[in-house]
Structure 1
């Protein structure tokens, strides 16, 4: 499709069925968790937006697009960026959710991020002038970072990451302080801390996950019957050093843990591992389903990716694309298939944390939007089409106007969807723990 920069402002509102998309998603999820998903989405326009990646992908499919695909997050809203530990035990700030990752036009990710800036800014009662400035500055940061990366070699782009130098370049003092405080909080989030909070001592030095329905429950026997085979499959997908490391651990307990907003209703498990000295490690095993960018956005995927998915499942897609998009990735990443479902594996609470946008003052909110956009550009710069994106963007002025105009219109459309959702009857009184 050949389009101009200005065409990217076009938002098609005909042929939509947003609540039908949610119903279609719910039909494939654990029925007893659907009320919890609906309750979490109903909390605010921003939490609703967090759960609507599929709706937005379907809307993208009707709009003109650049036709320049890159490896995309698929759900690059403000709450899907955060901190985590690198293998070197330093902290990185990066994208942290890849369930919807796939190849897609570059602007789909950017539009999702900028729309989240607008919805999130309004949801936290910021002046409209602040919201619009943050949206504009986010697009500027994306353009400037991607353009600058075009001067680097592929190897230099690969090794780049969001560090203190980038913080000084893009952020003010208040914004840097917010990120530093969030990073400090994230450093406290470890497997040992999670074990203290989520498990109980059952004697002989052993621990067990504490039941807290519906958020934490133990798994059924039929799931446990597949554990040994699934674990062997995961080990084969992990690197050899991780296989050696995990040989020091035995599996103690498995629990089902409800996480996020959009993911509620998919299967997610925590696995408690213990070494011979009583040290703990918690792994998260999360179901991977078809990317919304492909299923609802209808964007065709390259054969190299579909061949991997056909053989190894959607978990292999999530793991592979996460490794491309992140500067550093969890060394425990791996994937498996069990009972006809795909999963990916990662470490749980390894210095992971996010920035709560409601706690940011206006200057810091603006800076945070800039930081997220710079990180997104770094991720897109890894794709071989990055130079084509830079050429398409040109000077950046028309792109800024088109992306911000589209995102403002979509923020209003999402608010209409949210209001329709609240009166639709889809929202029931959520289960305890919602």
Structure 2
């Protein structure tokens, strides 16, 4: 028997209290946000059912849900729409990613502005699109010229974004220099010790880079972003970049922690040099084009992922109250294409199934019925767990003095 509140509390016990309180507050807002923030609880619940099902091994992003698809600029400087969060990445049966995504559609129906029956229809649309691409054995990539509907609108919009506008949104001027905007929503102040640690790291990192001046630090803050990872060690860093003030760059430095899926998997995993190497390696395997500037690094024996923050990073707004159901369906279909393509692209690597094995798997029908049935069961469980959480939260179980 799983005790929802103690499980959540135990999982988050090492998180930084200030940002952890933000996470707990966010989780109270909706079952969809709760789902996003409790990947560990989700897989603890569903693991026995998944172990009873047969599926080929694939590289999985681990935390696949509606909010973990989006735009970014690749290392070829073009914007793409793809999977974008690999913190939980592992080698696992393909169902492990699929069930979380399908559940997110059902749990997120209200957030999507659609009813439960339409949400069930979207589940089928996703699986149909996923199965079609998997059966073809050919991976696709989604860029502006190959996209449609809301995804095309997003990629067209982000292509026009300027770095200086992005910087103006995240920073402010003090004299002639930019400083990170400490607003309590995206950034919090750092301690002198934290600033010293980050600046020392950047100086050492720059020594092995072609343009050492690029990484000269201007300012550092603690970053507020995401849901599940809120409270891990994370910084936003303003660096010299290609010149001040409008060619400065913002970097994200995020601690990499073990995957939440690991305790529940029977699948042997590669021996990674670090958790950050796991995340970055799988991300580069699964994405159509690698995100620009992505590095696994180590600071004081802790593993971190260093990357650039881009003006082109964004998500499609899936809201049935402002977009037609047809438009939402097209986005879900694109997501099916993206997932199947990522699995095909990373096939045959360190134990993952080959493309031929994935094609053979796609011909089956029983797994689709099993996943649809299991996703409905999972959605009911998530909603029940959220209600349990809300009651405890309202009674002060997750208050500051309990952390």
The TM-score normalised by the length of structure 2 is 0.88
Tell whether 2:273 aligns with 1:308. yes
**Is 1:186–1:354's contact at 8 Å kept on the other side of the alignment?**
no
Out of 165, 181, 201, the residue aligned to residue 153 of structure 2 is 181
1:418 deviates by 0.8
Asked if structure 1 preserves the Cα contact closer than 8 Å seen for 2:232 and 2:255, the reply is yes
Name the residue aligned to 1:23. Answer: 9
Q: What SS does the corresponding residue of 1:308 show, helix, strand or coil?
A: coil
User: Which residue among 110, 123, 126 is the counterpart of 1:138?
Assistant: 126
Of the three residues 367, 389, 392, the one matched with 2:361 is 392
Does the alignment pair 1:111 with 2:111? no
2:380 is aligned with 1:412: yes
Cross-structure match for 1:273: 239
1:426, distance to aligned residue in structure 2 (A): 7.0
Are 1:50 and 2:50 counterparts?
A: no
Aligned residues: 387
Retained in 2: the 8 A contact 1:36–1:430? no
1:90-239 matched pairs, under 5 angstroms: 90-149=78-137, 152=138, 157=139, 160-163=140-143, 167=147, 176-187=148-159, 191-203=163-175, 205-213=176-184, 215-231=186-202, 234=205
Contact 1:189–1:349 (CA<8 Å) still a contact in 2?
Answer: no
- 1:26 Cα deviation after fit: 1.6
User: What's the CA shift for 1:165?
Assistant: 7.4
Shift of 1:115: 1.1
Q: Secondary structure at the match of 1:61?
A: helix
- Which residue of structure 2 lines up, in the alignment, with residue 318 of structure 1? 279
Q: Equivalents in 2 of 1:99, 1:332: separation in Å?
A: 17
Return closer, same or farther for 1:122/1:227 CA change in 2, 3 Å cut-off. closer
Q: Structure 2 CA distance, aligned partners of 1:55 and 1:21?
A: 7
Instruction: Report whether the alignment pairs 1:264 with 2:230.
Output: yes
The Cα of 1:138 is off from its aligned counterpart by: 0.6
Query: Shift in Å at residue 128 of structure 1?
Result: 3.1
Match of 1:334 in 2: 295
Cα distance in 2 for residues equivalent to 1:86 and 1:372: 18
SS of the counterpart of 1:425?
helix
| Root mean square deviation, CA, Å | 2.5
Aligned equivalent of 2:265: 298
Q: Aligned pair in 2 of structure 1 residues 44, 430: CA closer, same or farther (>3 Å)? A: farther
Change (3 A) 1:130 1:269: same
- Classify the secondary structure of the residue corresponding to 1:58: helix
Which consecutive residues of structure 2, in runs of 5 or more, have no partner in the other structure?
Answer: none
Q: Who is 1:62 aligned against?
A: 48
In structure 2, C-alpha distance between the alignment counterparts of 1:191 and 1:21, rounded to whole Å: 42
Indicate how the Cα distance of structure 1 residues 164 and 404 shifts in structure 2: closer, same or farther if over 3 A, else same: farther
| Residue-by-residue CA offset, 1:321-370 (whole Å, 9 max, x unaligned) | 11011111223101222234221011112411101212432112222111
Structure 1 window deviating more from structure 2 (106-115 vs 337-346): it is 337-346
**Contact residue 199 and residue 210 of structure 1 kept, 8 A:** yes
Structure 1 segments unaligned to the other structure (5+ residues):
1-14, 168-175
Q: Any conservation in 2 of the 1:234–1:345 contact (CA below 8 Å)?
A: no
Contact 1:268 1:284 in 2 (8 A): yes
